[in-house]
Chain A
Amino acid sequence: MNSKVLMQGNRIIGEAAIRAGCRFYAGYPITPQNEIPEYMAENLRKVEGGVFIQSESEIAAINMVAGAASAGARAMTSSSGPGISLKQEGISSMAAQELPGVIVNMMRGGPGLGNIRPSQGDYFQATRGGGHGDYRTIVLAPGTCQELADLTMDAFDLADRYRIPVVLLADGMIGQMMEPVVFKEPKPRQYSADYVLKGAGTGKAKTIKGLILDPLDMEEHNWKLDRKYRVIAAKETRCEIFNTDEADIVIVAYGTAARVAKGAIKRLGDHGIKAGLFRPISLWPFPTEELRRLAGTRKKFFVFEMSTGQMLEDVRLALQGYADIAFHGRPGGVVPTPVELANVIVRQYRRDR
């Protein structure tokens, strides 16, 4: 059993990645995630075969990750909103070329340069592919520092299993906070190395490409990717269901917003309102079935996000009009208190009555 240590969120990601066998990291400085490249600069180069590169740009970083992945390494890059936008070309290319890799987005206020405060405004970008073309990435949203450690390791396993870029979507608050964490033992790496480039040896040369000029062939490649995404959607959803047994209202929130929601649930109890929480951990694939099951017996859902309402659309798609959905959002880098959220829900609930 590994011992419990107190660490900052961003540094936890670095440590978990190294323990998971990440041997290539490229990144560019951007707040609020600078501790990740700093941790990698200090620690990844100490590991045998470990490569750290401070790249000239976000675009270069993701393309270095693509190159390292094609050569067989577990590879990672990290950034925040504006930098993640720049990486989209490379993420689209990795999706097309079916290369594994982990991309961390510690979200900040946007659009544009925005600010450096915690936000959840990149949900659409992360869960809808983000770059050009018909593709998806797996998106994992940790809500605690312990989950940062666990999901970072899981992200590498999922990337290998499905040969897909995996996005770890958190925000500046989780990245900056310190919590006790226990690093689990990483699983042995399981993947098919058929695609890995190391020189043809005496055999047949391999090609990794995304350019498929014949439209029928390109269509088939799109359907091939789609079949993979359907398998992922069926097998890889994750969520936490908290305190819903007696609940009249189910709050739907992820990441930092879910932490605020848990605090609000306690205060709502003081007002005589029984509330529970549905927390998606995989944002793509979205835990649609799990949420829909909950709507069989409960009819009031309250979506709370640090955005103007992005996950809200997935909740509507999941519930398809069979439940009442209310929404509260604080975009732009604002993190409301549990008291504020509880008050908003109390007002909503009393008005409804």
Chain B
Amino acid sequence: MKKVFSRPESLRKKFVFHYCPGCGHSIAHRVIAEIIDELGVRGTTIGVPPAGCAVLAYNYFDVDMIEAMHGRGPAVATGIKRVRPECLVFSYQGDGDLAAIGIAETFHAANRGENFTIIFMNNAVYGMTGGQMAPTTLLDQKSTTSPPGRNAVLDGYPVQISEILAMLPGTAYIERCTVNSPANIVKTKRAIKKAFQYQLDGRGFSLIEILSPCPTNWKMSPIDACRWIDDVMSKQFPIGVIKDTPAEAAGKEGAGHDR
């Protein structure tokens, strides 16, 4: 009998994801693992999980991993990639990790055109600590630290980090996706695979932002959380390719500095 579906080689053999029902992390993990398998690079991949819900990613991925302090993933990934340019290196970060406490590390890794990939999980809240306001929390969105809803005057505005990073000449590929439907999961997989391929081709910095449902902290059912991404969240954070630098443009071919 032909086997048509199985657990990816790049995920460990026996575990149960600790993520909440309806959370996007486990989908994203699986998609990344499938791509690592398809590219045949499990043996040369190094991942950098963050402080946050996904800190235990190394319990799920069967690839080499080093946990970074909160927000420091891009700095740790920079050190790894510069020492081991032959490896596929990715950091996996949430919105607080990437767009608040680690904004400097993220911005400058992108600006240096570091040749690694960031998987940016945007769920508009701090998940692991219990649903506080994140840099990406929408206006009027309720959180434990914006109880009446985010107020622009008092709390500032949601940050569109992908659009900001796209302005930097060092960035090669940036796309925003979501994992709220089978069709969107397929598109997300295509995007991450493209980003990894760009990295393997030495084309520089890539980032895939994933709008990820957090039913627990949004206080919604998983189905409603998926709908909320379509109806509300993606209006603030539009889905699609934000930047795709052709290989020949700006001398990017091989520009991903090995050193």
Residue in A45, A63, A211 whose CB lies within 8 Å of B76: A63
Looking at the assembled complex, report how far the CB atom of B141 sits from the nearest CB atom of chain A, in whole angstroms. 29
Residue in B41, B44, B45, B75 whose CB lies within 8 Å of A60: B75
Contact flags (1/0) for A191-217 with B, using CB distance below 8 Å?
Answer: 000000111111001111111000000
User: Does B79 lie within 8 Å of A45, measured CB to CB?
Assistant: no
Given A199-B43, A208-B67: A59 in contact with B75 (beta carbons within 8 A)? yes
User: Does B64 lie within 8 Å of A197, measured CB to CB?
Assistant: yes
User: Does A56 lie within 8 Å of B78, measured CB to CB?
Assistant: no
User: Does B66 lie within 8 Å of A63, measured CB to CB?
Assistant: no
User: Does A67 lie within 8 Å of B78, measured CB to CB?
Assistant: yes
User: Does A63 lie within 8 Å of B259, measured CB to CB?
Assistant: no
Looking at the assembled complex, report how far the CB atom of B108 sits from the nearest CB atom of chain A, in whole angstroms. 4
Query: Which of A26, A69, A71, A73 has the most CB atoms of chain B within a 10 A radius of its CB?
Result: A71
Q: How far is the CA of A111 from the CA of B62 in the complex (A)?
A: 46
Interface SS majority for chain A: mixed
Residue in B58, B61, B62, B108 whose CB lies within 8 Å of A209: B58
- Segment at the B interface, from A46-54, A164-172, A181-189, A297-305: A46-54
User: Does A205 lie within 8 Å of B63, measured CB to CB?
Assistant: yes
Looking at the assembled complex, report how far the CB atom of B199 sits from the nearest CB atom of chain A, in whole angstroms. 14
Residue in B12, B43, B48, B82 whose CB lies within 8 Å of A53: B82
User: Does A56 lie within 8 Å of B79, measured CB to CB?
Assistant: no
User: Does A67 lie within 8 Å of B64, measured CB to CB?
Assistant: no
Given A51-B259, A197-B80, A205-B62: A71 in contact with B46 (beta carbons within 8 A)? yes
Q: How far is the CA of A24 from the CA of B45 in the complex (A)?
A: 20
User: Does A24 lie within 8 Å of B44, measured CB to CB?
Assistant: no
CB-defined contacts of B78 to chain A, threshold 8 Å: 53, 60, 64, 67
Residue in A49, A207, A210 whose CB lies within 8 Å of B65: A207
User: Does B65 lie within 8 Å of A60, measured CB to CB?
Assistant: no
User: Does A206 lie within 8 Å of B75, measured CB to CB?
Assistant: no
Q: How far is the CA of A72 from the CA of B76 in the complex (A)?
A: 13
CB-defined contacts of A89 to chain B, threshold 8 Å: 69, 72
Which residue of chain A has the shortest Cβ distance to B41 in the bound complex? Answer: A199
User: Does A63 lie within 8 Å of B79, measured CB to CB?
Assistant: yes
Q: How far is the CA of A193 from the CA of B114 in the complex (A)?
A: 26
User: Does A90 lie within 8 Å of B69, measured CB to CB?
Assistant: yes
CB of B168 closer than 8 Å to a CB of A: no
User: Does B259 lie within 8 Å of A67, measured CB to CB?
Assistant: no
User: Does A72 lie within 8 Å of B67, measured CB to CB?
Assistant: no
Task: State which residues 34-76 of B face A: CB under 8 Å.
Answer: 41-46, 48, 51, 55-56, 58, 61-69, 72, 75-76
Which residue of chain A has the shortest Cβ distance to B88 in the bound complex? Answer: A199
User: Does B62 lie within 8 Å of A67, measured CB to CB?
Assistant: no
Looking at the assembled complex, report how far the CB atom of B153 sits from the nearest CB atom of chain A, in whole angstroms. 30
Q: How far is the CA of A207 from the CA of B65 in the complex (A)?
A: 5
Residue in B41, B56, B104 whose CB lies within 8 Å of A57: B104
Contact flags (1/0) for A324-338 with B, using CB distance below 8 Å?
Answer: 000000000000000
Residue in A45, A51, A208, A211 whose CB lies within 8 Å of B83: A51
Q: How far is the CA of A201 from the CA of B55 in the complex (A)?
A: 23
Q: How far is the CA of A103 from the CA of B68 in the complex (A)?
A: 19
Give the B-binding residues of A (Cβ under 8 A).
23-24, 26, 45, 49-51, 53, 55-57, 59-61, 63-73, 75, 89-90, 93, 97, 197-202, 205-211
30 A-B pairs whose Cβ atoms sit less than 8 Å apart in the complex: A23-B83, A26-B79, A53-B82, A56-B104, A59-B75, A59-B105, A60-B104, A60-B108, A63-B68, A63-B69, A63-B79, A63-B105, A64-B78, A64-B82, A67-B77, A67-B80, A70-B76, A70-B79, A97-B67, A197-B80, A197-B84, A199-B45, A199-B46, A199-B84, A199-B88, A200-B42, A205-B12, A208-B67, A209-B65, A210-B67
